[in-house]
A and B are shown apart, each in its own frame.
Chain A
Amino acid sequence: MWAFIHKLGSPKWFYGISARLMPWFWAAATLLILAGTIWGLAFAPADYQQGNSFRIIYVHVPAAFLAQSIFVGMASAGLVFMVWKIKVADMAAAVMAPLGAAMTFVALFSGGVWGIPTWGTWWIWDARLTSMLILLFLYVGVIALRGAFASRDSGSRAASVLAMVGVINIPIIKYSVDWWYTLHQPASFTITSRPTMPLEMWAPLLMMVLGFYCFFIALTLMRTRNEILRRESGKRWVQALAEESV
């Protein structure tokens, strides 16, 4: 196990293993998202109160899950980079941030679209919505901080520290609906408790969530590979790879 993690830290080894893993995650993501979308939008029954507008859940919930998970992933990668000085971890953290920001935006936007027919408003300053907006700002801050330094190493360290401190916001987002009165509903979809909806509504949601996670893994592997080539372009193995493909 430790040997495997150690080897992951080598850019060359990571480049090799990710090439083999990536197609599986792409295939799983495509299949799950396609099947989940068709099932969720066309075949799942409409909700007894919200009608068809509840189908926004099939985009909203997976995007919100990913937005929070990516931030935790980014902060963990930042910790590994800061303590163990593993460069691949920093590359992964760098490529995760834009996707996380995009997913946060999708969650906020789809929530606003959903809010108009159900709540009667697209935005309200309740604890869940506000903490999610703060997450978007944290992502933007991490991306900006990384680019704000002349030396890449300083930028990486500053971004890692902000990500690690910002991770405090994640439990606040998660428990905001339990700790305070909010307009947002409590969680419908958790791993720890029974689903609050019948199987024919819940199963496509599970597929979408898994599909989004596979998409995230595949995209992060792909973009980390690009980042490795970019940063290691002076290394012999990368140049050999380039000559091979010419």
Chain B
Amino acid sequence: MTPKRKQKLFVILGLVSLAAIAIGLTLYALRSNINLFFSPIQIAAGEAPIDRQIRAGGMVKEGSVTRNRDSLDVEFVVTDFVEDLAVRYSGILPDLFREGQGVVVVGRLTEEGVLRADEVLARHDENYMPTEVAEALEAAGYSPADYGVKLD
């Protein structure tokens, strides 16, 4: 490599690493804003603002979903298995919504610590499997979410 080319290579690498550092620091400074949602732990710790639109995320707690028979009102608890967050919602839920499923809830936090949701979005994890396999796993006492773990 001629000295001129070497110099050029170092200039380019320097430029790219400087840009990478700048972007890295910006993202680090903004990390809490880049997170799509607050977890129930963060909400319990008072990190989420009250009465402003926020997003909260976690798992729908097993056995916590109660539906109103005459309306679309539904109440459920979102949990990260440490803290719980009560959610009230009125509207149509996504197909993937069920107990034990990950959700992101858009809404406002009230003084009592209940989230009044305007929108409920379903999350899904990285595991895919046929129905028969999921049923077999559950029959064997595993949750389908353990599939990846079980293999190891």
Contact = CB atoms under 8 A, between A and B. Distances in A.
Given A118-B122, A124-B121, A127-B36, A83 B9 contact: yes
B77 interface: no
Given A45-B130, A180-B34, A183-B121, A120 B16 contact: no
Contact of A183 (B9, B15, B31, B104): B104
B128 A197 contact: yes
B16 A49 contact: no
B5 A83 contact: yes
Interface in A50-97: 50, 54, 57, 79, 82-84
A237 interface: no
Contact of A79 (B12, B57, B93): B12
Interface residues of A, number: 42
B35 A164 contact: no
A201 B130 contact: yes
Contacts of B121: 119-121, 124, 183
Contact of B39 (A117, A164, A181, A188): A181
A165 B36 contact: no
A57 to B, nearest CB: 7
A48 B130 contact: yes
Contacts of A201: 128-130
A194 interface: yes
Given A165-B16, A194-B148, A180 B31 contact: yes
A187 interface: yes
Contact of A197 (B31, B35, B127, B132): B127
Contacts of A181: 35-37, 39, 57
Contacts, number: 121
Interface in B101-124: 101, 104, 119-124
Contacts of B144: 48-49
A232 to B, nearest CB: 23
A172 interface: yes
Given A48-B133, A82-B12, A187 B36 contact: no
Contacts of B151: 194
Contact of A50 (B96, B120, B133): B96
Interface of B: 5, 8-9, 12, 15-16, 19-20, 23, 27, 31, 34-37, 39, 57, 93-96, 101, 104, 119-135, 144, 147-148, 151-152
7 contacts: A82-B12, A119-B121, A120-B121, A124-B104, A161-B15, A179-B31, A181-B57
